[in-house]
Amino acid sequence: MSVVREEGNATAVQESTPLLPREVPEEKEGNKLALYRALVSAFIVSLSFGVTQVPILYVFRLMTCDAYYETHTFAGPAGADRCARREIEASTARSISLLGASTTVFGILNLFVTGWTIKRFGIKPALLIQVFWPAIRLSIQNIGVMTGSSAGIIIVQASQIITIIGGPNGYVLALNSFVAEVSGHEDRTGALGRLSGIMMVGAAVGFLAGGLIGEAFGILAPFRITLLLFLLSTLYVFLFVPSITQEKDITVRQSSGLKRYFGPLRIFAPQKWTLAGGQTSTQFGALTLGLGVFLAILATGYIPTLLQMYSTNEFGFGTAANGRLIFIYSSLRGLFLSLVFPRIISKGRKWLKRDPGDATPTAEAEAWKPQEEEALMGDIPTSPSEIGPVDSMDNDGEPTNPPQRSSESETFVFDLMYARCSLFVDCILTGLATFVTHGWQLYLVAVLLPFGAGTGAASKGTILQMIPSSERVDALSGITLIENLARLSTSAVFGLIFAAFAQIGESQMTFVCNSAVAFLGFVVLLVSRFPPDGSRRSDE
């Protein structure tokens, strides 16, 4: 492997320069096919995770209600909803918050496990693990739902510990890593957004199916069907998602000690850059971006649960109505990310593109320049995620060649601009939800909120431009870790806030708190920026 270097108008060919170009049309087609198969996998696995999301809220309400009347007597009129009491509603909200918090804590640990698995065994084995173990968790949850009352709640909550081995967070990281590898530099942000959109569409179909199945066949049916779906998803990943084969003749450089385990957090540390004039400057772009993403998820991560809890408490929505509500919200958000978001990114980049005659490299372009020794060696991968397959006549699999990094010196500032704007739109739309007074208006809110989608996808594309490509897995792990820390916080903080407002009959005020946090995140993202033009990393 080598590089062809330009010297004036002549081309200097190194001793190890390949006779044929490395990037051939067949490889590009293979990358596209691999991307499509990954998107199909994202849809079916997200659908599997989504089927139980609506029924589990209703199940917790029923189990909390049963536990309440073990020590109380119902004195209401015949035919009345005996669970429609503020004590039960508040207790249900606290139980759901505890479930979400424990899931997120175990999910954070799952990120470290998945990151290690990707580097040690590859992306496909890691993905298989993340899809298979939720089936084991569903088996235990089936037992909890059949048990009911306080014991059932404890069983369901305890089953979440399996998330450490395999769960939605690790599966998202594995698929994001896969898509980042098979997508080119220019297409990466759009592909990550499309992946997020497909996941949301799959989850939306799962939300709707779970609500309808639970109402038609009983509350236990969605949990049994989900178990079967996860087993089928595991089979699909095993048979159809291609592997990214590692080259056997390359020694992979790995971090040692604590860096190996805390690499995802290290990417947000302040970075030393040397400016064009020779001065040294500390840049906080990655740090402020991570903080902005944290606040964005903190503000919006509780919205799906909040819509369901609010609709149930204030307007008496059941599983079917809540399933339709979340289906509208998630499917429109997913379609926006899948179809509209990539086009906005593409058009916006062209709008902000520099004058073609301006050959001055940006600071971000300098960030991707390897050291002189590495330049002589060419595009030798520096992490397991960058290692492509060795072409072999006896290779019966479908290895995928990651695209080359020849164009990764270009920076797309529009990605960061989009992240700011989308979060500001979220702030406005979430605040408007405070004025909902009728059940049908919640459906209008579910239609409007998706137009603020894309903060997370744009942030992933931005962070991948702020750090060297050799740290791509850590970058995706880091941004996913920040998102899950935010979800942990939002489940705990806004779950308790909703419970407090529900206790006094002012549940809608939770939307005001969400809007305020979104605005704070917007302000933080305004501070995030790339280093000045002409600067480069001090360690290079």
Whether residue 498 lies inside any domain: the answer is yes
H helices of 148-218, in order, are 149-159, 168-182, 188-217
Average pLDDT, the chain: 75
Q: How confident is the model at residue 176 (pLDDT cuts 50, 70, 90)?
A: confident
How many structural domains compose the chain?
A: 1
Mean pLDDT of 28-45: 83
Mean pLDDT of 108-114: 85
Q: How far is CA 416 from the centre of its chain?
A: 17
In this prediction, residue 69 carries a pLDDT of 83
Range of the domain at 442: 26-71+83-240+272-353+408-532
CB 337 within 8 A of CB 201: no
Task: Show the tokens assigned to 337.
Answer: 């990310």
Whether residue 30 lies inside any domain: the answer is yes
Any idea which of 131-135, 148-152, 511-515 has the lowest mean pLDDT?
148-152
In a 3-state reduction of DSSP, which class is residue 185? Answer: coil
Any idea which of 31-35, 65-69, 84-88, 243-247 has the lowest mean pLDDT?
243-247
CB 169 within 8 A of CB 481: no
Any idea which of 2-11, 283-292, 400-409 has the lowest mean pLDDT?
2-11
CATH number at residue 299: 1.20.1250.20
Whether residue 54 lies inside any domain: the answer is yes
φ, ψ for residue 538 (rounded to 5)? -65, -30
Mean pLDDT of 388-392: 35
Mean pLDDT of 398-426: 67
Percent of the chain surpassing pLDDT 90 = 11
In this prediction, residue 29 carries a pLDDT of 62
In this prediction, residue 540 carries a pLDDT of 55
In this prediction, residue 135 carries a pLDDT of 92
Whether residue 391 lies inside any domain: the answer is no
pLDDT tens digits, one per residue of 230-271: 999 999 999 988 886 543 333 344 444 445 545 567 777 777
Q: What is the reported pTM?
A: 0.66
Whether residue 381 lies inside any domain: the answer is no
Whether residue 251 lies inside any domain: the answer is no
Mean pLDDT of 137-149: 88
Distance CA 409, CA 207 (A): 41
- Tell me the Cα Rg of the chain: 25
More confident residue, 377 or 102: 102
pLDDT tens digits, one per residue of 300-316: 888 888 888 888 878 88
Residue 7 has pLDDT above 60, yes or no: no
Whether residue 4 lies inside any domain: the answer is no
In this prediction, residue 225 carries a pLDDT of 92
Collect all residues with Cβ–Cβ distance below 8 Å to 357 and sequence separation of at least 6.
none
DSSP string, 322-339: HHHHHHHHHHHHHHIIII
Whether residue 5 lies inside any domain: the answer is no
Q: How confident is the model at residue 518 (pLDDT cuts 50, 70, 90)?
A: very high
pLDDT tens digits, one per residue of 422-479: 999 999 998 888 888 888 888 898 899 888 888 888 888 787 777 776 677 777 777 8
Q: How confident is the model at residue 89 (pLDDT cuts 50, 70, 90)?
A: confident
